[in-house]
Amino acid sequence: MRTFVYTSRPSRVVFGAGTVRRVRDEAERLGCSRVLLLSSPALPEASARVRRTLGDMLVAEFDGAAMHTPVEVTEQALDVLTQASADGIVAIGGGSTTGLSKALALRTDLPQVVLPTTYAGSEVTPVLGETRDGRKVTQSSPSILPETVVYDVDFTLTLPLPMTVTSGVNALAHAVEALYSSDANPVTDQQALDAISRIARALPRLTADPADPEARADLLHAAWLAGTCLATVGMGLHHKLCHTLGGSFDLPHAETHTVVLPHAMAYNAPAVPGVMRRIADALGVPDAPSGVYDLVASLGGPTSLRDLGLPEWSLAHAAELAVSTPYPNPRKLTAEDMAELLTDAWHGRRPEGPPSTEAGLARLTEQVVASFARAPEPRVRTLLSDLVRHLHTFVATNDVTDAEWQYAIDFLTRTGQLCSPTRQEFVLLSDTLGVSSAVDLLTNSRTPTTTPSAVLGPFYVEGPPEAAHGSDISGGLPGIPLWADVRITGTDGEPVKDAVVDVWQSNKEGFYDVQLPDLDGPVLRARLRTHADGRIRFWSILPSEYPIPDDGPVGHMLGAVERHPYRAPHLHFMIDAPGHRRLVTQLFVSGGAYLDSDTVFGVKDELVVDFAPQTGPTPDGRQVEGQWRRLDYTFRIAPLAD
């Protein structure tokens, strides 16, 4: 049984996107009517939004917060607060602005509403570190803790990527040290592990798209959880080292956390192997300290104290300071050990972890994804990053061998080599894998009031011959005569004039003209235009089922999985009308073969229609011996505004 003590901190948290709208209500809830706003010059728009929301409640503003909360700055802000007779503080910004708010609250006991814009976590702790005469002194008091925190995810979207990474690792450090704290308890353990997983998930996504709102929300949520851990349990070696380096050597806060964390973890790891395993699991890596180092490196974050500007000669002094006052830490500390740790951190050495393929692969994936970070087009960045992640996962989960990958490359090479103006093997590949139909489903079939679309297929040829109404597009090829009477209407049922309708189909044996080199010119394909009645009428022949070309790599693939290559019989249509969205679709012959197993997955129930058998007189008086078929159909096409 585990014995523990848990003290919760009484902050109120409002979390979401656009939550800035609630700031005035939250300030009123704390009894404020005259508010001092601590704003941030780096966040002009966000500060303006807070200003607008506060309205006439805002009586004074101060925008000079500085890192490590120098007391001179606090005194200036206190003057502004006193002269304005403010009865509450609202602060928007990173840990520095929050620190100033806390310093003012400590001196005045006024209530605070804080809107954090980084992941430092200070907003939920009752701790304040102030710098006086170059020395940073930390104290804790209930009056320091902000009463209300408004997390508005929108305000973090502008945080530059390097700062996002270092601030995110700052939050990670709170969660990591909470897990091996001497005050650790089941509640903070869960919060810490949740925070670690969210950070590990969000940071790589943000390097691909820094404005990804879900990843931003994940990271801000993690910052709150990690800050809560920091507020609830004592921290160890890592925070002590960062405090020393920041306070005595003026190193930047979040960057220092980012460099030191893997080394502090590696030092403590032998004393808390179980905790390190849980951290590694939450991060999704085999080894926690080297996993954190790899994560930072793959995100382009800082890995050496040298790069942060720390002179090498100061390492010994920093090591002495780090052990000058005792504090709880899972592993005993000596100045020699600290000097060694700081030397590793100064050089940016990777902590030794067990060599592992997974770690190497994760690093490789993130390096490739990071290589897209500067792509100016966000959509390109997202698609390429996601494609690479899926491909790497595919290769890893299937343990793809060298020979298999070479085979795949050879397969794609042959697919490309077979493509020509009349043979599109890549379209066939996309069709037979169902990708064309998937893209079609997602992009074209979202309007329930229009005729469903279907894939274009590989046999469309630009600029088919113009045909007159009532003409025969079969070029005299044998087959059951087909009379098509087709109407094009809008979603309102009104006929669409001047629609350009391209039609194409296979012959009785299932071949398209482009597959028949002996044919003279285009056959069984035509372009007709609608008049005011929205109709086109033409003669053709009944299409039949046919195999897609199966003498290439795609046919090979179908054979290897014992799939037939047949398409259900159908007629293709492409309809372009002024003011309307293009419709590409197919009409399938009801009762035809392969409707259930069309090899390109193109059949949709609504597109299976009667090609009704007829005998006797035809609509235009043409003489037909025996049976003929009749297709009557109305296409509903969407206006462009939809």
Residues of the shown chain interacting with ligand NAD in the complex, contacts defined by CB under 6 A: 40, 42-43, 67-68, 93-97, 99, 117-118, 120-122, 125, 127-129, 155-156, 158-159, 163, 167, 170, 230, 253-254
User: What's the alpha-carbon Rg for the chain, to the nearest Å?
Assistant: 35
Sign of CA dihedral 351, 354, 359, 361: positive
Task: Give me the numbers of helices (H) and strands (E) for the chain, helices first please.
Answer: 19, 19
Q: Compute the distance between CA of residue 106 and CA of residue 100 in angstroms, rounded to an integer.
A: 10
8 A C-beta contact, residue 204 and residue 382? no
State the minimum distance, in angstroms, from the CB of residue 282 to ligand NAD.
Answer: 21
Q: Please give the Cα distance from 283 to 195 (Å, whole number).
A: 10
Of the pair 126, 458, the CB lying nearest ligand NAD is at 126
Residue type, 75: E
Nearer to ligand NAD, 46 or 486 (CB): 46
Specify the residue, 43 or 288, whose C-beta has the smaller distance to ligand NAD.
43
Q: Indicate the residue among 93 and 236 with the shorter CB distance to ligand NAD.
A: 93
The answer to whether residues 309 and 296 touch, using CB atoms and an 8 Å cutoff, is: no
Q: Shortest gap between Cβ of 206 and ligand NAD (angstroms)?
A: 13
Going by C-alpha positions, the residue among 95, 102, 86 that lies closest to residue 27 is 86
Structural contact between residues 188 and 178, judged by C-beta atoms closer than 8 angstroms: yes
Assess contact for 622 and 477: CB atoms under 8 A. no
Which CB sits closer to ligand NAD, 163 or 310? 163
Q: How far is residue 55 from each of residues 79, 120, 487, 503, measured CA to CA in Å?
A: 22, 28, 60, 64
What would the two tokens of residue 127 be? 């701790």
- Minimum distance, C-beta of residue 98 to ligand NAD, in the bound complex (Å): 7
- Give 305-363 as a 3 state SS string: CCCCCCCHHHHHHHHHHHCCCCCCCCCCCCHHHHHHHHHHHHHCCCCCCCCCHHHHHHH
Question: Which residue lies nearer to ligand NAD by CB, 94 or 348?
Answer: 94
Residue with tokens 């403590």: 268
CB crowding 151-160: b at 16 or more within 10 Å, else e: bbbbbbbbbe
Beta-bridged to residue 58, according to DSSP, are 35
Alpha-carbon span 545 to 357, nearest angstrom: 50
Give me the least distance between CB of 235 and ligand NAD, in Å please.
10
Q: How far apart are CB 221 and ligand NAD at their closest, in Å?
A: 16
DSSP string computed for 149-213 = EEEEGGGGTTS-HHHHHHHHHHHHHHHHHHHT-TT--HHHHHHHHHHHHHHHHHHHHHHH-TT-H
Residue 588 burial (CB count, 10 A): 25
State the Cα–Cα distance between residues 232 and 219, nearest whole angstrom: 20
Residues whose CB falls within 8 Å of the CB of residue 176, separated by 6 or more in sequence, listed in order: 192, 196, 238, 261, 265, 279, 288, 292
- Least distance in Å: CB of 171 to ligand NAD? 9
- 179 or 427: CB nearest ligand NAD: 179
Closer by beta carbon to ligand NAD, 155 or else 588: 155
Please identify, using beta-carbon distances, which residue of 168 and 289 lies nearer to ligand NAD.
168
Six-digit token string for 353: 């972890």
Residue 93 or 464: the one with the smaller Cβ distance to ligand NAD is 93
Specify the residue, 215 or 568, whose C-beta has the smaller distance to ligand NAD.
Answer: 215
Residue type (1 letter), 215:
A
Q: Which of helix, strand or coil describes residue 470?
A: coil
Closest to ligand NAD by CB, 9 or 306: 9
Q: Which is nearer to ligand NAD, 327 or 411 (CB)?
A: 327
